[in-house]
Structure formats: C-alpha cells, structure tokens
Structure 1
Amino acid sequence: MKLESVLNQFFGYSDFRPGQKEVIESVLKGQDVIALLPTGMGKSLCYQLPGYVFNQPVLIISPLLSLMQDQVDQMKQFKEKRVVALNSFLNPDQKRATIHNLHNYRFIFISPEMLLQEQVQHKLNSMQLSLIVVDEAHCISQWGFDFRPDYLRIGEVIAKEDRPPILALSATATEKVLGDIESYLKMKNTFKFIHSVDRPNIHLGKMLFQAREDKIDWMIDHVTQTAGPGIIYTTSRSKTESLSGRLLQSGIACAAYHGGMDPLDRQFIQQQFIDGTLEWIVATNAFGMGVHKQNVRQVIHESLPSNMANYMQEIGRAGRDGEDSLAILLYAEGDEELAKFIGIDDYPVDAHVDSYIGYRARKEQPASMIHNGEISETAFRVLDYWMQQLPPEGVKQQLTSMKYAKMRAVEEVMGLIDTNTCMREKLVHYFGQTLENRPNDCCQCCGIDYKNIILLRDNISRQSFHLNWEERIKKLLLGNS
C-alpha cells in the first residue's frame, strides 16, 4: 500500500507535510506514538488517514467542546458522515442513541470527563477500536495537575492488554511534559517525532513599562495604527471587557472573550473573528485552541503568561499562513508577582485536606465542601483526585510542590523579559531544542523593526472592518447561508 495514493484518494493531496508520513507509518505498524508538530502542520491527518486504512473506529480524546465540534464540522464538510462528538452538547436522548450506535462511527470525539462515564466505558470495551488519539496531549501535564485531573485518569481507562496503539499529539512539550504524557497514558516502546518548535515567521517583541496603565495606553495607540487581525491576551476577565471597550471607542472592530461568557456568545464571537467581521479579540487564555484562522498577524500579551508552554501555544496562533507575524510581550514592574498569585490562588490548601478527612470521618460526602462554600469546584476536583492517590500528608506535600512549580514557571517566563540575548534562542532552548537559524528581525534583543513585519492601517483596511452592527450581522448570516 502506497500512503501517497491513500493521501490523494481521501484528502486530495499529493505530498505529506514534514513529519506526517513518519508518524502515520509508525501508527500503522501498531506503535504507540508521540508527535510534536507545530500549529498548522496538519496533526489531524495523522489519525484521519490511518482511520481510512484501518476502517475501524478511531477514538479521539479532545480537550474542548468547541474544538471537537469544529473538527467534526470540518470532517463533515469533506463528506465524512461517520463522525460524531460525544459530549455535553447532546441531550439525554441524543447521548443514549449516540452511545448505542457508537460502533457504527469511523471517528469518535470525546472529552476525558465523558470517557470516564461507566456507560461509555462499557460500550467502548465492547468495540474493536483501531486507534486511540489524545489530541492536545500537553493538557495531560498542564491541565491535569491544575484543574482537570480526569486527564490523569485517561491511562487507567484505556490500559487494556489488547488495546490499540495510542497516538498523542501536541504542538509543544518540554521533556517533563513528554514524560508525563508517556507515563500517564501508560504508553509502551513509544516512537517520538519531535519537530522544531521554532516558527521563523513569528517575530518576537517585548516592551517594558513603568506602570500597568502605560501598557493600556500603548496598546490603544499601537492597535489603532497597525493592521490586524490580532489577539490580545490578558489574565483578567474584567480587563478583556474594559480594553475591548476602549478599542471599540477608538474605531477598532473588537470583542472581549473569556470563560465566564455564555458558550453561544463565545462561539458567535469566535466565528466573527474567523470570518473577518472582527479584527481584534481581547481574551483570556480561554480563547485560541481550535481557532483555525490562518492570517492572524499579531499576538500581544498584556499580562505575563503563566508558563513558557502557554506562551508558545498562544503566539503559535499567529502566522499560520506562513506570512510574517508579530508577537509582543508587555511587562510592567510587579507583573510576575501578580502572575504567581493568579497561578496558585485557586489551589487547595492544607486546611482543605483536613476538612476533606473530617467529612470522610463523619461519613459525609466530601463534595459537600463545594456546596458549603469551603472550596471552589475546580480546587475540589484537584483535591479529590490526590486524596484518592496519596495519604493526607502526601497530598499536602504534592500541593506544596505544585504551587512551587507554578511559581518557578512564572520565573522562567521572566527570563524572556530579563534576557539581553536572543529571545528566540531562549524559547527554543526551553523546549530542549537548538536554534538552527535566526530570521531577519528575529526578536527585540537581536534587533527588530515592527514596520518590517506588520502593515500600518490604511483606509482600505479600516473600511473593511468599520461596519455597523446591522451590516456585521447581515454579513455573518449571509456568509453562513
């Protein structure tokens, strides 16, 4: 069987992108595979093509509902009817029907939380899967320890003697994250394909300010003078609203986006950004994964990212078309302390461990801690996981260790702010790789001229985004009809 023929038959391409063929060949041999391929390198093909070769169901464990739905919609557009997303968007009747017919689908998208449900496991155990895919596998390490411990349980569910091969996909991962992926998924004799994390077309800027308010003034001035599309990342939900409001007042087609918004509102805003009705998004890190927009020209970090992996993931949303793009990291004194506080603010503390033990001793459900206002739902999920893994003192040590790790991660990002040497080299080195070449206008430390990378706003670009709300709705509806 010639893979290029299968590629052409089902996808219409004549050649593979770098890394795709090596990954697919290993999967077809039955090997467990970890593949690190940069955003836009076609990771989904690495499980879609084997799905057609095996002609048996492929299970894809995916982190976000919107990401799942986007992938399902894309596959349906390419005439693949045997694809489904098993998630909380389904009502009870739809969920029962989907589970009952699961064996009839070729591609099954599912969340880690849904995977752990008993009725889902029972059905999957009765099926012959050809491949298990963990998409955005870095979430096992980044999210599993923080707020979605069900990620750490995936391996327990799928670890059967006769299980199919596992394919773990991500754009970026450190050696530690690679180790977490392999360990928690219980992978064996793993083939690893590691593509360079460097994206030469993304040029790295940084700006230092005396006060945080100065950053806001600079962004208003910068965004109103330069062309997007662009994303501004900030850690505060309220700041997404206030900054997007100021940009709107300045004539920029812009919207806020954060996890506290209604899911339909978020989906609507995301679609507006993708189709070009909105030029800028001001968002928390809830925005980005699964957003397939090729021509993002700028990514600005108003706040210090919580770790280097998040920073790399977020700037990687720029320049997916291969054209020059700009990523600017803004810093004001004290930003690192704020980032550390936000990073550990919702972690369980020793008192929560003692309270959990107390509930158990009284034969009460520890989950009552949430309803009694003692702990947030997110913190309880983390606490509950570790209380089932370790003795109480071990849990306290684990939580302390996790907090220190979060603070160290912020210090590592500060290394980009403090360095006088190449930012790109430092970033690539963090992921255990060596920088081969520096592009022109490489970074702030090597020398960079923003005007060489991004265009100044002109009358044409302004006119294309300055539609009133009626025109914007009409454009969106007609575009989707």
Structure 2
Amino acid sequence: MQLEALLEKYFGYTSFRPGQKEVIEQILMGNDVLALLPTGMGKSLCYQLPGYIFNKPVLIISPLLSLMQDQVDQLKQFKEKRVVALNSFLNAHQKRNVVQALHHYRFIFISPEMLMQQQVLQKLNTMELSLIVVDEAHCISQWGFDFRPDYLRIGEVVGNDNRPPILALSATATDKVVGDIKDYLKMKEPFEYIHSVDRPNIHLTKFMFYDREDKIDWILRHTTETEGPGIIYTQSRTKTEMISEKMLQAGLSAAAYHGGKDTLDRQFIQQQFINGSLEWIVATNAFGMGVHKQNVRQVIHESIPSNMANYMQEIGRAGRDGKDAVAILLYAEGDEDFARFIGIDELPNEVHIEIYDNYKVRNEPPSNMINNGEISETGFRVLNYWMNQLSTNEVKNVLQNMKNEKLQEVNEVMRIVKTSQCMRKMLVQYFGQNLEKNPDNCCSACGISLQEIINPRQQVELGHDEMSWQKRIEKLLIGNL
C-alpha cells in the first residue's frame, strides 16, 4: 500500500506536508534521520505513521511533561489506545504496572531522566523497538551540557549495534547543534532533511525604552488595544505574576505561567489558553514547547532571551495556522546584563568543584552539597556529570568554556536588538541559511505596519443582563448591606 493511502487510512489526510514523506521513507529503509521542520509542519507524523507501519513499539524521548501529554492526547483523538507517557505524573504503583506492560504499547513517551532508571532500561532491553525518536532534539545541545546532562547519555543507553533507526526532530538548530545531536546520539550517517527556518507569516518588530517600567506600561496599553491570543515572555517569575495581575485589573483574560507553579496548575492554565478561555499567557520560557495552539497572533518579549535559539523557538509559537502574526521584542538599556546573569546563574564554578572534591576525600556523598545548601539541584546535576567524565582541571575548563559561550549567546541576541539591518535576514543567517525573499511587513528595518497585521480590540458594550462579574459582585455586596 502506498504511503498516501496509509496516511489517509490512519490519519484522514490525503497528502503530506513538505518533508514528511521524505523523512518517513528513510525511516522505513532503516536509516537514521535528522529532520529540522518548522513549528506547525507536522513533525510528530514522521514517527506516528511509521509506528503503524512497523506495528512494533516506538520510543519517543521528550523533554517536557506538557509536551508528552499533548502528544498522548493527540494520538488518543485518533482512537489510539496503546499510548502511554512514562513520567512523574505516575505514582510508584502505576509506574511499576506501566513498566511491566511496556511491550504492549505502540507509542511510549519518556523523559531522558526516566530513560536512565535501571528498571526502565532493563525492560526496554527485552523489547524489540521499531524506532527511537528524540523530540525537540536541540535540547541535547542547549540543555544537555548545562541543565539536563541525561540528554548527553541517550546515545550511550540506546546506541547498541542492534538498535532500530533513530529519528531526531527539531524546529531549529545551528550547525554546531546539528553536530552535537549526531555525535551524542551516535547516529549512523543520518539522512538530513533541513527546511528553511524562516516563517514569512511572522512579522518582526522591536521597540526601545529608556526605562524598564515603560515597557510594562506599553504592554498594558498595547494588549488593551489589540487582539490576541498572545504570549508575553519574560525572564522573571515575579514579573510574570505582576504583569498578568495588571492585565487582569485592566479587564483582560490573562494568567501567569512559570516553573514555580504546581504541575496541575500549569496544565490547567495551558488548557485554558488552548481552548480560548484565556487570551494572554505571561510566561517564562517554561511555557510553549508542545503547546499546539494554531491561532497565536502575538508573541511579545518583555525581556530579551538568553540566546537566539530560544528566541526563534518562542516566536515560532505564533501563526501556526499560517495566518499573519507578529513577534515584538522590547528592550531597555541594561536588559542584556540580566540576560547574562540568567544564562550563567546556575552553572557550577571552581568553588563548587573544590567542595565536590572535598566530599570525595572525606568519603561522603557529594550530593550532600544540595542538602547543605552549597549548590542548587540543577547545578549539582551538571557538576556531577562532568566530574564523572573528566579530570578536575578538565572540568574547570569545560565550565569556563560554557560560561563564555553563554555570554557570547547574549551578545548574538544584542546584534538583533541593535541592528538597523533586516531582523529576518540576521535570524535566518544565524542558523546557517539564506533568506530567499522578504515578505511584506517584514520587520522594523524593512518597514512594518502593525495595524495591517493585528486587529484592534473589539470593545463590547454590556447590556443590563450581561453585566461583568465585577459589577455582579458589587451589586450583591451592596444589596446585602
């Protein structure tokens, strides 16, 4: 049966999007594949259809709980019952039952950290997998070295001689990141499909401010005058709460989203945004990956991101329906200093290395550094990984190089901020590609009219029977006095 016929049989689609068929054909031939497809181009189909053709379990290594849950829900909408997410949402009893029955599932979603657990590895080693997928594979390079080192171990635990093909998927990656993906996954001469990172329907603009507080005033004025849905990114959890509260007071439906919130709260907020109950999300970069909302019209960066890859990923959440959307970057003098601080804040330093060595000399577990408040949990994960890979002096060099790279990444973002040249051209060139054509309303440098892209906010007059909830409460309170 031809691939198009199988596509219609299992998913109801009559044709492939660019790149999907080429990637699937290579997987069916048993080849490793690295595919860079922009957000909204249907990356997940590249492993879902082979899963039905092979009819053996597909292992999908995924970075975030929300992303896993979104993919699970998506497959269940297509009547797939043999799908599971093996993650921290499961209690010990549920996890044990899922691991024991793992061979019965068609699609198995798992985090790199869960993959490293001994009982999970033992079970997977008894199974015949049809495909290993690393979703959002850029995380190997962007997160593996300094945030989640278990990403660097994936190739070690799945890279045996008898393994099935590996499919690495991402929306964006520089040449360096592509190299890291291939090296750390131990890919064997992978077929590469690299689509242009440019999204012509996302129009780019930026605004400069003397004072950071002026940015907040601008956001409030802008969001009360223009339509969403939209995402506002900031690098401070406190600021997400403050901005969302001000937006609520202005009569906008908004919520804050950050890693400090309870998992269920984050899920609830995300679902409200997806179904349209919330118009605006004010978030740290914890929000967005795997959020399949097609009609995001605006992405606003209240503070500059720490690197170009994050910026590209975040603005890529706009306009997934192919319609016009806008990405707005706000900058005030000194923003880059905070971005640099965020970039290197949790990196271990030479003092941490000495403390680690002292614990080893005393035959005490170095993990006590966390309990004694000498290092963050994230910092320890990074330090522990490298201390078990290299000599002490080599670790010092690695950590210093990582710090230098983080600082350089902020400098790359500042080039976009300060340039008088085409923002789109600079973005595309950063990822090693050339811009073929500038769309209308391209960017600040080329000329842009927000009024032609974003609709004005519709002011709704409430009748007597449609008074706002604030007015209803006020009337009830006054009536009870």
**TM tier, shorter chain?**
over 0.9
Match of 1:479 in 2: none
SS at match of 1:160: coil
* 2: CA distance, partners of 1:462 / 1:159: 63
Alignment of 1:75-224 (within 5 A): 75-224=75-224
* 1: CA distance, partners of 2:74 / 2:287: 19
- Structure 1 residues 361 and 52: CA distance shift in structure 2, 3 A: same
* 2: CA distance, partners of 1:461 / 1:359: 67
1:231-274 CA distances to partner (integer Å, 9 max, x unpaired)?
10000000001111111111111111110011111111111111
Segments ≥4 residues shifted beyond 3 Å = 460-463, 465-471
* 1: CA distance, partners of 2:390 / 2:462: 58
Q: Match for 1:178: what amino acid?
A: V
1:429-456 CA distances to partner (integer Å, 9 max, x unpaired)?
0000010111100000000010010011
Unpaired stretches in structure 1, ≥5 consecutive residues: 472-481
* 2: CA distance, partners of 1:146 / 1:466: 52
Query: 1:226·1:455 contact (CA, 8 Å) conserved in 2?
Result: yes
Match of 1:11 in 2: 11
- State the superposition RMSD in angstroms: 1.6
Q: Match for 1:103: what amino acid?
A: H
Instruction: Give the percent of matched residue pairs that are identical in Structure 1 and Structure 2.
Output: 69
Query: 2:462·2:468 contact (CA, 8 Å) conserved in 1?
Result: no
The alpha-carbon deviation at position 459 of structure 1 amounts to: 2.4
Paired residues, what number? 470
1:147-169 CA distances to partner (integer Å, 9 max, x unpaired)?
11011111110011100000000
Match of 1:396 in 2: 396
Query: 1:224·1:252 contact (CA, 8 Å) conserved in 2?
Result: yes
Unpaired stretches in structure 2, ≥5 consecutive residues: 473-481
Q: Match for 1:168: what amino acid?
A: A
Alignment of 1:246-395 (within 5 A): 246-395=246-395
Query: 2:232·2:302 contact (CA, 8 Å) conserved in 1?
Result: yes
The alpha-carbon deviation at position 329 of structure 1 amounts to: 0.4
- Structure 1 residues 449 and 162: CA distance shift in structure 2, 3 A: same
* 2: CA distance, partners of 1:101 / 1:257: 35
Query: 1:386·1:395 contact (CA, 8 Å) conserved in 2?
Result: yes
The alpha-carbon deviation at position 92 of structure 1 amounts to: 1.2
Query: 2:204·2:424 contact (CA, 8 Å) conserved in 1?
Result: yes
Match of 2:59 in 1: 59
* 1: CA distance, partners of 2:319 / 2:262: 29
- Structure 1 residues 462 and 37: CA distance shift in structure 2, 3 A: farther
- TM-score, with normalisation over the residues of structure 2? 0.96
The alpha-carbon deviation at position 93 of structure 1 amounts to: 1.2
* 2: CA distance, partners of 1:136 / 1:210: 37
The alpha-carbon deviation at position 309 of structure 1 amounts to: 0.5
* 2: CA distance, partners of 1:393 / 1:76: 51
1:92-134 CA distances to partner (integer Å, 9 max, x unpaired)?
1111111111111111111100100111111100010000000
Q: Match for 2:360: what amino acid?
A: R
Query: 2:258·2:287 contact (CA, 8 Å) conserved in 1?
Result: yes
* 2: CA distance, partners of 1:435 / 1:469: 50
The alpha-carbon deviation at position 91 of structure 1 amounts to: 1.1
Query: 2:204·2:326 contact (CA, 8 Å) conserved in 1?
Result: yes
Query: 1:252·1:466 contact (CA, 8 Å) conserved in 2?
Result: no
* 1: CA distance, partners of 2:57 / 2:462: 48
* 2: CA distance, partners of 1:257 / 1:60: 26
Match of 2:457 in 1: 457
1:206-228 CA distances to partner (integer Å, 9 max, x unpaired)?
00111111111111111111111
1:320-349 CA distances to partner (integer Å, 9 max, x unpaired)?
011100000010001111100111111101
SS at match of 1:459: coil
SS at match of 1:193: strand
The reply to whether residue 72 of structure 1 matches residue 65 of structure 2 is no
* 2: CA distance, partners of 1:131 / 1:460: 52
- TM-score, with normalisation over the residues of structure 1? 0.96
